[in-house]
Amino acid sequence: MSLSEIPKRRKKRNWAPYILIMPALLYLALFFAWPMARGLVLAVWDDEALLSIHAEAQRDSAVVGHIPQNAHLDILDQQGNFVPEEELNLENMLTETWFRVKGEDAEGNTIEGWAPDSRIRVREEAEDGTPLAGTVRTKLGTKADPLTSVYAEPNKHSQVVGKLEARTRVEIVDVALLEVWYRVRGENEKGEPVEGWAQSRYIQVFGDESRGRVDRGNTGQLTTKFIDKMIHDRFFLPALRNTLLLMVIIIPTQFVLAIIMALVIQARLKGNTIFLYIFAIPLGVSDLAVGILWFSVFTQNGLLNSILQYLGLISHPSPYLTAETRHWIIIAIWLAEVWRATSIVMVIVVSGLQAISDEVLEAAELFGANLWQRIRHVILPLLKPSLQVALILRTILALQVFAVVIALSGGDVVTVLANETFRQYSDFRNPNVAAAYAGFILLLSMISAIIYLRTIRTQEELAA
Amino acid sequence: MSVQSEAMTVQVSEEVLALHRRMQRRRKLNRGFTYLVGILIALWILGPLYFLGSMALTTQEAVRAYPKGVLPFIPFSLDTMRFFLNSAGIVPGVINSVIVAAITLVLSTLIAAPAGYATSRFLFPGRDFFRLSILAVRAFPIVVLAVPLAVVFISLGIYDSVYSLALMHTALTLPTTILVIGSVFASIPYELEEAAMVFGCTPVQAFRHIVLPLVLPGIAASAIFTFVMSWNEVFAASILTVQNRTLPAQVLFALSNSSEAYQFAGGFFMMVPSLIFMFFIRRYLFNMWGQITK
Amino acid sequence: MAEIRIEHVTKRFGDFVAVNDVSLTIEDQEFVVLLGPSGCGKTTLLRAIAGLGMADEGRITIGGRDVTYLPPRERNISMVFQSYAIFPHMKVYDNIAFGLKMHKFDKEEIDRRVREAAEMLHIEELLDRYPGAMSGGQRQRVAVARAIAMKSQVLLMDEPLSNLDALLRLEMRAELKRLLREIKATTIYVTHDQIEALSMGDRIAVMKDGAIQQYDHPSVVYDLPANQFIGGFIGNPPMNFMHGQVQRVDGRVQVRIGDFALTPAEAMLPILQSYDGKPIIIGIRAENMETLNQPAADALEVEVLVVEPLGSQNLLTVHIGQDIVKVSTHPTFKVEPGMKVWLRFPADKIRWVDSDSGRVLYP
């Protein structure tokens, strides 16, 4: 058989793994990456910074300029315009209703056209409230034209198709709900005058209807005002200080305790599995429950005072979780976090310890190393990779302490960054500033991760 | 010469014996010390838990009393618990929590299982990048995600709903679930699948007859773990729900103006399901958390 | 009839060529061993035959049927895996019955065949047990029983004994050999253990760097290696190689090792004449040298460095020039390190190796 007859297999790519990870990727893109990007934008982008001013009272007419939010305006004129049904009932939005009416004028000609609802009294309604018929209202005042104009369009600037006398009976053919547009004059950010039309929904009108202010804009702009607001928030510095303080006292304690726990597990005592389960219990407990748990210990009538009372060390319960005893709140949060999150570090350390062969430890013992020397010179260096990962993980988690703080301090006396995020969002209804806080936490997480990775690398370089 | 060596042997062996005795004594001492440390740590973990449990399972008078006692010394009663469960928003909160956790469990497992299988069974370009991004996502702060997602959900009109909260919780648990399920699949040797194929299976049959029965316990454990993570989560739940609060969100909301009986019973009630579930999956704990180190 | 023909098969992993244009024919009911050091491509070749990793180029036929790109289940093969691949969630009975169930045999037939296979491997009492707590030897028997219960015409074995301890391996080796004779399947057996290969195979295909170096009966591979690699890989101790120089003295071709002159066999002279003045490598097995305790004209004087008594023989280590040479002697031959002995090289036992190509020269 010659070589040419032998078939060559075409190499085809195996798409199976890509198809299998696709749902997860799509999901994370949709519910993780996209909101994350939105969140960062939220912190630096003001959606309502500017109000576009149009040349005509039409949504699609040319934009002649922008007036910043909160700027004051002169209102020169107003006009109704169609508004899509889903946009009705917006805050501040002024509407007027026009009826398309059909009736006879003084000469007996049938006239059909639009008139504002202020000129028509509805006399008959369908069961669902749709007006069916009415009469033309009498005009008050003597100087006014006693006749009511009927227009070709639901718009006072359109052609007048006829005039109706007061009390004429008219059939109501159609109803149009219109949004009021104002002709306004104001100044843009550079102080240049801008004049044109804008929708009433964006404008707060003052009493005499000749002045108003831009309530919110409809055009976004890059801004630092949310970040400024966050930094100048009176809770920002205390929150940052407390978060960092907690990080500094929590993490080292956790690591020492976790290594001790791991060594106890690794000693393979009888009842080892029971120890392991007990040590792992906090893994499954929510942070809020842990907060309550330690609240029960530190509250004035709680476990700690009860024990001290039984022991006769105090005669009446002393308060811990009050504004006057902030240091006790910090201690309580510290203990609660150590109680809660040491288990994660322990599991990571135990996993790492299991990778160290017993022979290495036995060899160290054989050469006369005592327990401390073994930990210092054998176990810790071999555990380094596991400890690094645990350190990064714990730091990032420590930046997020939230429910424990709320449970122990009510979130006022001692506050942390995550709590401020929550407060800005929930209590102050300010998602942009909340997003700024979230972005700040993200930044801190990334910085600490990078610092850790850097230090590790330089250490390794030094060792090499 | 032979006599001399005999004498020497005896001498040495006595020394060795003494050394041996000393070593044994020291070992026993070490062992006792280790036990002591272990028991102290266990007390540190269990003590507060036991106190909280006592407070949750007694009368409200006992909760108000000072100094407080613990269970065998104070009356056992379901009174406090009943009071908590009858408080406003608790029963709906429990129902919401269960719905959210159940949807999260199903969604997360369904999406994570194929991805976990792919990362453990195929060597494909981009695999390391995928695993790394999963790890990065795993370490991301929840806080950072909750606010923008709330804004997105408001704009989509699906804010304040258990379903949208479940979507969020799925995003939070997905990375961990993928890693855990991946490790479960990786613990099944590929040779088993190959053997099944040699003995007459199609790849799909091999998966169904061999891989699936072997991974099911691990996947069940991971699903329970997902459930617990969702059941415990409080930050995103508080941000994303207003009317339809989950249990932790409801307790957090009511925390500042509620009695101690409410708080203690609430804390205990939230812990119990997690503790039971954790007990069932304790064998898999290292699979769950050990994964983070890899 | 299940003759296996492998034609110009190549398999690559990225840039690495694991199997390079291999052609091999295995007769019906023949037992062929694929032998080679780790990484030589023998397992890759076996997997291509099994269908677990398709060949990139070439053709594989079983019983005349082209199976190159068929999935494993359509190849009518069975296989014993290195790690045994026993399904841990099935009882031994179901493990053995698995393939039969997949091929939809009826219940009685499955039961008959499972019991027959179990009996052949003496594991009847394990049938109701789960494999979890079983020893390596027991798992190995289950894996073999599962493979032979299929009664496939082709049986593939991937280092089936490598995970057993030495004694058990020796026992299973003999048992497998008996079993395979009984079931009369065409068998391909992958191993890196040359003793297994020599003792079990009808033919041995020695592989290195993805290519077949020699494909012949065990005795031929042992005695007449195709190249220096095979001589050095097979045998315990492996073949000795010494550096020499071809020289023509008074019209006669001689090979010099230092001062010692070696006379080649008559048949080799025409070939060696072309190596006049060039270096050559002399290969000889330890057991093929005669050891004398006194000088002789045709014997080379060497100093003994190490003596290893192995019971059935004493193994001496000596230096000849730069080369370390192992010499096997009768256990009654009295020798101590530091003593001098004289070695005689029988002309018909010497293999001549081209020092450039490593090929063994044959007339």
pLDDT band at C1 (very low <50, low <70, confident <90, very high): low
Judged by CB atoms closer than 8 Å, whether chains meet at C52 and B210 is answered as no
Residues 111-150 of C with CB under 8 A from B: 146, 150
**C69 interface with A at CB cutoff 8 Å:** yes
Burial class from Cβ neighbours inside 10 Å (0-12, 13-18, 19+) for residue B26 reads exposed
The three-state secondary structure class of A369 is coil
Q: How many CB atoms lie within 10 A of CB A66?
A: 20
Q: Distance (Å) from the C-alpha of residue A303 to the closest C-alpha of chain B?
A: 7
The sheet that has C351-353: what strands, in order across it? Answer: C260-262, C252-257, C240-249, C279-284, C351-353, C360-361
Judged by CB atoms closer than 8 Å, whether chains meet at B289 and A20 is answered as no
Q: What is d(CA A221, CA A225) in angstroms, rounded to the nearest whole number?
A: 11
Same domain for C185 and C251, yes or no, is no
pLDDT band at B149 (very low <50, low <70, confident <90, very high): confident
Comparing C-alpha atoms, which of A152, A183, A155, A170 is closest to residue A102?
A170
Residue A9's closest chain C neighbor by CA?
Answer: C56
Asked whether residue A393 is domain-assigned, the answer is yes
Same domain for A102 and A152, yes or no, is yes
Percent of chain A with pLDDT over 90: 11
Structure tokens at A101: 């009416």
- A222, A249, A277 — which closes off a domain? A222
Cis omega before residue C346 (within 30°)? no
Residue A464 has pLDDT above 70, yes or no: no
Residue B12 phi/psi, 5° resolution?
-60, -45
B76's CB contacts (< 8 A; 6+ apart) are: B57, B58
C168's CB contacts (< 8 A; 6+ apart) are: C136, C137
C353 or A270, which is more confident: C353
Chain B residues with CB inside 8 Å of A403's CB? 234-235, 248, 252
Write the residue in B198, B213, B214 that is nearest to C72 by C-beta.
B198
Chain C residues with CB inside 8 Å of A8's CB? 56-57
**C126-144, pLDDT tens digit by residue?**
999 999 888 888 999 999 9
Residue C35 lies in domain: 4-233
Based on the structure, what is the number of domains in chain A?
2
Best of B132, B274, B289 to disrupt the A interface by mutation (most A CBs within 10 Å)?
B289
- C204, C233, C262 — which closes off a domain? C233
The region of weakest confidence among A448-452, B109-113, C353-357 is A448-452
**B194 interface with C at CB cutoff 8 Å:** yes
Residue A126 lies in domain: 49-222
Same domain for C84 and C221, yes or no, is yes
**B165 interface with C at CB cutoff 8 Å:** no
CATH number at residue C320: 2.40.50.140
Residue B199's closest chain C neighbor by CA?
Answer: C99
Q: Distance (Å) from the C-alpha of residue B208 to the closest C-alpha of chain C?
A: 12
Chain B residues with CB inside 8 Å of C82's CB? 191
**A255 interface with B at CB cutoff 8 Å:** no
Residue range A320-348: average pLDDT?
A: 88
Question: Would you say B146 and B153 are in contact if contact means Cβ atoms under 8 Å apart?
Answer: no
The region of weakest confidence among A425-434, C58-67, C101-110, C231-240 is A425-434
**B111-122, pLDDT tens digit by residue?**
999 999 998 888
- C233, C256, C281 — which closes off a domain? C233
Q: What is d(CA A414, CA A240) in angstroms, rounded to the nearest whole number?
A: 11
Write the residue in B46, B51, B137 that is nearest to A303 by C-beta.
B51
Long-range contacts: B155-161, Cβ < 8 Å, 24+? B159/B240, B159/B242, B160/B240, B160/B241, B160/B242, B160/B243, B160/B244, B161/B241, B161/B244
- C178, C201, C233 — which closes off a domain? C233
Q: B96: part of which helix (H) or strand (E)?
A: helix B90-121
Same domain for A72 and A145, yes or no, is yes
Q: How open is the CA angle A429-A433-A439, to the nearest 5 degrees?
A: 130
Same domain for C154 and C247, yes or no, is no
Question: Would you say C236 and C285 are in contact if contact means Cβ atoms under 8 Å apart?
Answer: no
Same domain for A238 and A154, yes or no, is no
B64's CB contacts (< 8 A; 6+ apart) are: A301, B260, B261
- A181, A205, A222 — which closes off a domain? A222
Percent of chain B with pLDDT over 90: 30
Asked whether residue A6 is domain-assigned, the answer is no
pLDDT band at B1 (very low <50, low <70, confident <90, very high): very low
Same domain for C139 and C247, yes or no, is no
Q: What is d(CA B181, CA B222) in angstroms, rounded to the nearest whole number?
A: 7
DSSP state of A166: T
Residue A90 has pLDDT above 70, yes or no: no
pLDDT band at B3 (very low <50, low <70, confident <90, very high): very low
Task: Give the pLDDT confidence score for residue C221 in this predicted structure.
Answer: 93
Same domain for C208 and C68, yes or no, is yes
Chain A residues with CB inside 8 Å of C68's CB? 7, 9
Q: Which chains touch B (3 or more CB pairs under 8 A)?
A: A, C
Residue C113 has pLDDT above 50, yes or no: yes
Write the residue in B119, B264, B286 that is nearest to A292 by C-beta.
B264
Residue range B73-90: average pLDDT?
A: 86
Residue environment code for B243-272, b if the CB has 16+ CB neighbours within 10 A, otherwise e: ebbbbbbbbbbbbeeeebbbbbbbbbbbbe
CA distances, B16 to each of A84, A110, B5, B20, B24 (Å): 98, 128, 16, 6, 12
**C53 interface with B at CB cutoff 8 Å:** no
Asked whether residue A13 is domain-assigned, the answer is no
Percent of chain C with pLDDT over 70: 100
Chain A residues with CB inside 8 Å of C58's CB? 6
Same domain for C271 and C348, yes or no, is yes
Judged by CB atoms closer than 8 Å, whether chains meet at C102 and B201 is answered as yes
Same domain for C151 and C19, yes or no, is yes
Comparing C-alpha atoms, which of A48, A153, A56 is closest to residue A432?
A48
Q: Name C66's bridge partners.
A: C61
If DSSP states are collapsed to H, E and C, what string results for chain C?
CCCEEEEEEEEEECCEEEEEEEEEEECCCCEEEEECCCCCCHHHHHHHHHCCCCCCEEEEEECCEECCCCCHHHCCEEEECCCCCCCCCCCHHHHHHHHHHHCCCCHHHHHHHHHHHHHHCCCHHHCCCCHHHCCHHHHHHHHHHHHHHCCCCEEEEECCCCCCCHHHHHHHHHHHHHHHHHHCCEEEEEECCHHHHHHHCCEEEEEECCEEEEEECHHHHHHCCCEHHHHHHCCCCCCEEEEEEEEEECCEEEEEECCEEECCCHHHHHHHHCCCCCEEEEEECHHHCEEECCCCCCEEEEEEEEEEECCCCEEEEEEECCEEEEEEECCCCCCCCCCEEEEECCHHHCEEECCCCCEEECC
Comparing C-alpha atoms, which of A412, A239, A422 is closest to residue B239?
A422
User: Domain boundaries in chain B?
Assistant: 2-79, 87-293
The three-state secondary structure class of A235 is coil
Write the residue in C51, C85, C146 that is nearest to B192 by C-beta.
C85
**B197 interface with C at CB cutoff 8 Å:** yes
Cα A111 off chain centre by: 56
Task: Give the pLDDT confidence score for residue A459 in this predicted structure.
Answer: 66
Residue A341 has pLDDT above 80, yes or no: yes
CATH number at residue A341: 1.10.3720.10
Asked whether residue A347 is domain-assigned, the answer is yes
Task: Give the pLDDT confidence score for residue B292 in this predicted structure.
Answer: 43
Residue A12's closest chain C neighbor by CA?
Answer: C56
Write the residue in B130, B150, B278 that is nearest to A21 by C-beta.
B130
Judged by CB atoms closer than 8 Å, whether chains meet at C73 and B198 is answered as yes
Write the residue in A1, A3, A9 that is nearest to C55 by C-beta.
A9
pLDDT band at B2 (very low <50, low <70, confident <90, very high): very low
Q: What is d(CA C252, CA C257) in angstroms, rounded to the nearest whole number?
A: 16
Structure tokens at B175: 């990375």
Residue A1 has pLDDT above 50, yes or no: no
The domain B87-293 is classified under which CATH number: 1.20.1740.10, 1.10.3720.10, 3.90.550.10, 2.40.160.20? 1.10.3720.10
Residue C11's closest chain A neighbor by CA?
Answer: A9
Question: Would you say B197 and C72 are in contact if contact means Cβ atoms under 8 Å apart?
Answer: yes
Based on the structure, what is the number of domains in chain C?
2
Amino acid found at A104:
E
Residue B233's closest chain A neighbor by CA?
Answer: A286
Same domain for A213 and A129, yes or no, is yes
Asked whether residue A25 is domain-assigned, the answer is no
Write the residue in A27, A310, A425 that is nearest to B147 by C-beta.
A425
DSSP state of B207: I
Judged by CB atoms closer than 8 Å, whether chains meet at A6 and C59 is answered as yes
Residues 57-96 of C with CB under 8 A from B: 71-73, 77-79, 81-83, 85, 87-89
Same domain for C27 and C175, yes or no, is yes
Q: Distance (Å) from the C-alpha of residue C195 to the closest C-alpha of chain A?
A: 33
Task: Give the pLDDT confidence score for residue A451 in this predicted structure.
Answer: 83
Same domain for C22 and C117, yes or no, is yes
Residue C13's closest chain B neighbor by CA?
Answer: B123
The per-residue pLDDT of chain A, averaged, comes to: 83
Same domain for C179 and C128, yes or no, is yes
Owner of token pair 């050091």: C37
Q: What is the ipTM of this complex?
A: 0.85
Same domain for C79 and C189, yes or no, is yes
